Each structure stands twice: as structure tokens, then as C-alpha cells.
Amino acid sequence: MNKNRYCVIMAGGIGSRFWPLSRTSRPKQFLDILNTGKTFIRQTYERFLPLIPPENFLVVTHVNYRELVLQEIPELTEDQILLEPIGRNTAPCIGYASYKLKMKNPQASVVVTPSDHLVLNQHEFETVVSEGLDFAEQQYALVTIGIRPDRPDTGYGYIQIDTSDRIGTLNRVKTFTEKPTEDVAKMFVDSGEFFWNSGIFIWRVEDIVREFYLHLPELNQLFSSILPDYNTTHEAEAIARIYPECRNISIDYGIMEKAENVYVRCADFGWSDIGTWNALYRHLPLDDQGNAATGNVVLYDTHRTIVRTEAEKLAVVQGLDDFIVVNTEDVLMICRRDQEQNIRRFVEDLRQKEGGKFI
């Protein structure tokens, strides 16, 4: 196995769209939402183990989730867990890991991945990631993985490929588009040139650091200012000092949409980001009325409804069509499936009214 290959798992999000199951104290990535017996972050770690040496994993997460990471991936040492004192989106998250690796192994190539996605075809996944690593190691390129869409989903970002610029199995990226309207998404899918943005990136550490220098100079300056502190006992203190100054920006906006050497490996390995209750619905077993029920649940005259109870008490539901019903120890949420975008509003309203009590 190539000792210069690393995997960076981004695990700092709070998964507010999965409230009230996902909470600040235990976000989505640390839950077994699919009832597989393994949490999302554990599945992510095991997914990359055939490709990356165990000692070459890094998990970037919020300082409050250190123990949760060690609980789910006990194979990691504390040095492999990078703690963010405050959330600052994916560009600072990736910057932290990249500059740390630059000091540890300048020859490193890296695959960066979210911690909470689903992949059904492991063999195809390994093939695609291996091809991406081989490609990035042979030239100055930033690689992303695009997923062939099977529907005009408005919840995903889209990548347009340049069909005239292809090297092997990879195409140069022409455009990035964030979460289009339904009409635009349908046009994208019909064209055959647009793919879902998986949020998985592959590059050499020296190349991504160069892109930070070119496109995010203020972040480059901050992370470069503490180069002597990485991989020492001073690292946590240095990160705590500079992180509040980091710009809150995604790697897509900050670098990927600006760089000129971005390539995409288009793939179909049964991927989903399981970002919402409706996305989860597509991957749960359904009864003959199209309901997905988890827990001690009895349904009457109910159709196409998600019901999940975490508490021990029995949940009896009658007369609902196309709803989300989630019952935890301290929260009962009932929401129309076509209005699930309001869940984030529920969370923010509760934060204002109740503080962090139910969040």
C-alpha cells in the first residue's frame, strides 16, 4: 500500500437538517441512521481502509467531538484527530489538514471526504478513487468525483464536464452550479453533461497548498504563519489562535470554482449524501403503503410517511400522507415531507427561544 497516500475525513458538521435525531451533542455523522449497526463516520473510515494505510487517516472535527471520534474509530491515535475550535466551513477545514500534511510529508497525495455519505458499490468506489489518486499524482491537477444523476435533484450541486477535454477516464470541469431550480436541474440531467458534486476531492498536498496561495491568500497567510507548530505540542494552541480569523468559506467557492486545472472522474457507485429525511427515505425499506417506520410503531391509513421513534414508548399514527414524524426522548417533530426545508428554521427558532436545550 502506498505510504504517501492519505485520507482526510471532514466530520465537524452538526447535521441540522436531520434534527431532532441529529443534535449538537451527537451529530449525524456519529449516528446509525440507516440501521446498519455502524455509524456514518465508521462506515467512511472502513470504506477507505483498502486504499489508505490506517496511520494515514486524519479526521478534522470540532473540539467537542474528540471523544466521539475516538469512540467510533478507536484505531486512530490522538495525533490523527485535528480539532477545530470553531466551525469555519470546508476551506479552513481542508487548509488545516493540508498545511499540517505539508510539514509531515510534502510528497503526500490526499483524498478528502465528508463523513456522512452512503456508498453501495464498494468495488466500483475503490476503482474510481484509485484512478483519481493515480491521475492527481501524475500531474498538477485538482480532482473531484462527480456522480451520474438519476433524477433532477435540487438539493445537490452540479458539475459540468468539458466533453472535448478528456484524459483517460477524467474530464476537465467546465462549470460548477450550486443547487439549481427544478427546471434548471431537469435541463442539466437531460443534457448529459452535468453530474452531482459528491464533495470528494483528490490532489497532491503541494498542489492544494499552491491553490490556497493563489485563491485564498488570507487563509494561506494564517496557516503558513504557524508552520513550525504543526505536529508539535504547540499545534492546538496555534490553531486556536488563528482559527477565529479564518474566513467562513467552502472549498468549492474558495478554490474549485476558480482553479483552472480541475478534473472530474464521473462515476456511479450507489452514492447519496443522505442529507435530508427525504434522501434517507429513498434508502429505507418500505411497507406496502410506502411508509418507512423505525422503532415501536403502528400505522393506520398512513402512506409514504417516515416515522422514527427513538424513545421506548409506542407510537401509533393514523391518517397521515407524506409526513415526517420523529419522536426522541425530548422532542416530537411532525412535518410535511414537501416542507422539510423548514427544519432548519425550526432549529433556528428554537435556538432563539430555548437556547441550546433542544438543539
**Model confidence over 251-273: pLDDT tens digits?**
999 999 999 999 999 999 999 98
Q: Is 134 in the same domain as 232?
A: yes
Q: Is 21 in the same domain as 115?
A: yes
Domain of residue 200 covers: 5-275
Q: Is 11 in the same domain as 37?
A: yes
Mean pLDDT for the stretch of residues 321-330: 95
Residue 300: all three cell numbers together: 393506520
The mean pLDDT value of the chain amounts to 95
Summarize pLDDT for 109-165 with one digit per residue, the tens: 999 999 999 999 999 999 999 999 999 999 999 999 999 998 998 888 999 999 999
Question: For the CA atoms of the chain, what is the radius of gyration?
Answer: 21
Last residue of a domain, one of 275, 299, 317: 275
Last residue of a domain, one of 257, 275, 293: 275
Last residue of a domain, one of 217, 245, 275: 275
Total structural domains in the chain? 2
DSSP string for residues in 151-204:
S--TTS-EEEEEEEEEETTEEEEEEEE-S--HHHHHHHHHHT-EEEEEEEEEEE
Q: Is 154 in the same domain as 213?
A: yes
- Separation CA 322–CA 306 (nearest Å): 8
| Listed range (45-49, 180-184, 224-228, 307-311) with the worst mean pLDDT | 307-311
Q: Is 258 in the same domain as 111?
A: yes
Residue 320 has pLDDT above 70, yes or no: yes
Q: Is 144 in the same domain as 232?
A: yes
Q: What are phi and psi of 75, to 5 degrees?
A: -65, -20
Q: Is 70 in the same domain as 126?
A: yes
Q: Is 131 in the same domain as 10?
A: yes
Residue 311 has pLDDT above 70, yes or no: no
Taking the alpha carbons at both ends of the chain, their separation in whole angstroms is 42
- Separation CA 172–CA 189 (nearest Å): 18
**Which residues, in sequence order, are CB contacts of 232 under 8 Å at separation 6+?**
none
Mean pLDDT for the stretch of residues 271-283: 91
Identify which of 350, 353, 92 has the alpha carbon closest to the alpha carbon of residue 246.
92
Q: Select, from the ranges 191-195, 214-218, 272-276, the one with the highest average predicted confidence (pLDDT).
A: 214-218
> Is 163 part of any domain?
yes
Q: Is 128 in the same domain as 182?
A: yes
> Is 359 part of any domain?
no
3-state helix, strand, coil in the chain (%, to 5): 40, 25, 35
Q: Is 94 in the same domain as 192?
A: yes
Q: Is 150 in the same domain as 223?
A: yes
